[in-house]
Amino acid sequence: MDNPKLRKLLITLHLLFAGFMAPAFILLAVTGGAYLLGQKGQETKVAVNLPAGTVIDLKSPTAEADIRALLKSANIDHDFEYLKNRGTTAQTRPTSRPYISFKQKDGQWMAEKVTPNFMKAAIEIHKGHGPTLLKTYHKIVALMLMGVVFGGILVGLLAKAYRGKTIGAVAIGTLLYLVLIFFA
């Protein structure tokens, strides 16, 4: 099972994939750690004046098109990729850059433009609320991560000198993770 050519290929792919993914994982590590330490970023909110009598039917299948038309008719210059519709509130997306949030209060529709600072924008990207192209990139990175992890394990199993250490590390890591999931 000790195949030096296969091991060399796996190591090369492992290094290339890891290098390609490094920027995404640095962002994830920094934003995830900051978030868990209570640094969730800031955002500024400014009221957006909607025309009097504005009615938004978020249950309508045309809600996104209706909001686009509303913004255009009110001369509100705001471009967005899609609408996150929660039935009673809505946000234009991505929320990693300025977006508009809509909600109904006391029977009237209100909107506000929300502008995230750098940390808040980076956390929104971490959560998957960034531009569609970036979300696609992150899906590719997720698939590559599985390849890097399984490839790394396979490299360890293929090398006789590392086989026991690899099995031990995977067993300990799996056991620790299961304990944390079920007992923490």
pLDDT digits (tens, 9 = 90+) for 65-115: 999 999 999 999 999 999 999 988 999 999 999 999 999 988 889 999 999
* DSSP symbol at 41: -
If you average pLDDT over every residue of the chain, what do you get? Answer: 93
Q: Write down the pLDDT at residue 4.
A: 80
d(CA 149, CA 158): 14
Work out the burial of residue 61: count CB atoms within 10 Å of its CB; fewer than 13 is exposed, 13-18 middle, 19 or more buried.
exposed
Question: Is the whole model's pTM more than 0.95, yes or no?
Answer: no
pLDDT classification of 2: cutoffs 50, 70, 90: low
Average the pLDDT over each of 8-17, 58-67, 90-99 and give the range with the smallest value. 8-17
> At residue 152, does pLDDT exceed 60?
yes
> At residue 168, does pLDDT exceed 90?
yes
pLDDT classification of 5: cutoffs 50, 70, 90: confident
Closest to 31 measured CA to CA, from 102, 124, 106: 124
> At residue 8, does pLDDT exceed 90?
no
pLDDT digits (tens, 9 = 90+) for 110-128: 999 999 999 999 999 999 9
